[in-house]
Amino acid sequence: MADQIVQSVVDWVSMVPPLGIYLIFLGIAYLENIIPPVPGDVLVAFGGYLAADGVIQLFPVWSLTTIASVIGFMTMYWLGYKWGEQIENNQDSHFILRFLDYKYFNRGKKWMKKWGQGVVIANRFLAGTRSVIALTAGMSRLNVWKTVTSSLASSVLWNSLLVGMGWVIKDNWRVIGGYLSNYGKIILLLLALIIGIKLLLLKTRKDGSDIIK
């Protein structure tokens, strides 16, 4: 499905003027936060390639995708803030959970409880869990302005990396998808390892305290 979306966008871009291309990337960067199957990262990198090829300008495509990423994140935040309890209590029927694996939802809640805004800052680097992180940020009632700032910082860093990669790699921009897939797995593995070590240290300290008592 992701490959079909990418090819459709590539074909679409070839038929529209620069203004239309900017609007396409704006929509993609927004929807990628709402519907996880949308391959937003690869397509943002494609934007970097188009800028390198002179089809569009680098700063506009970077700034538009960054702003759209923040707006998309905050849309999911608002849904979590307003309807979080309903979403959680209707796991089998709520339309949002048709796009999200609930095991990631539980994981997102645990991360949010432990690290709060740190998870929001890291969200762009965690492909596949961004929608969950945004929802759980809203459900956790994180400060809205701090969340906007954290999301903006995350989007600036990540989109700079993607657009820059597309600019440098140019015609080979499609290979970025494979790198991103492996990168995401490594990041999730490292996070799981860090959490495991932290829990082990807490358990060790607790056992030590019980022995002293």
- Provide the pLDDT for residue 180: 60
CA gyration radius, the chain: 19
Please, which pLDDT band fits residue 197 given cuts at 50, 70 and 90?
confident
Helix ranges (H only) for the chain are 2-13, 18-34, 40-52, 58-89, 102-115, 117-122, 130-139, 144-169, 176-212
Question: What six digits make up the tokens of 24?
Answer: 């396409």
Mean pLDDT value across residues 183-198: 60
The CA–CA distances, whole Å, from 194 to 104, 156, 198 equal 17, 25, 6
Q: Is the four-CA dihedral 169, 170, 171, 173 of positive or negative sign?
A: positive
Q: Which amino acid is at 133?
A: I
C-alpha 40/C-alpha 5 separation (Å) is: 10
- Provide the pLDDT for residue 69: 94
- Provide the pLDDT for residue 58: 92
C-alpha 213/C-alpha 207 separation (Å) is: 10
pLDDT digits (tens, 9 = 90+) for 122-162: 888 776 678 888 888 888 888 899 999 999 999 998 899 88
The domain ranges of the chain are: 2-212
Phi, psi at 101, each rounded to 5°:
-80, 125
| End-to-end Cα spacing for the chain | 58
Looking at per-residue pLDDT, the higher value among 161 and 204 belongs to: 161
Tell how far CA 190 is from the center of its chain: 17
4 pLDDT more than 90? no
With vertex at residue 117, the alpha carbon angle to CA 27 and CA 36, rounded to the nearest 5 degrees, is: 30
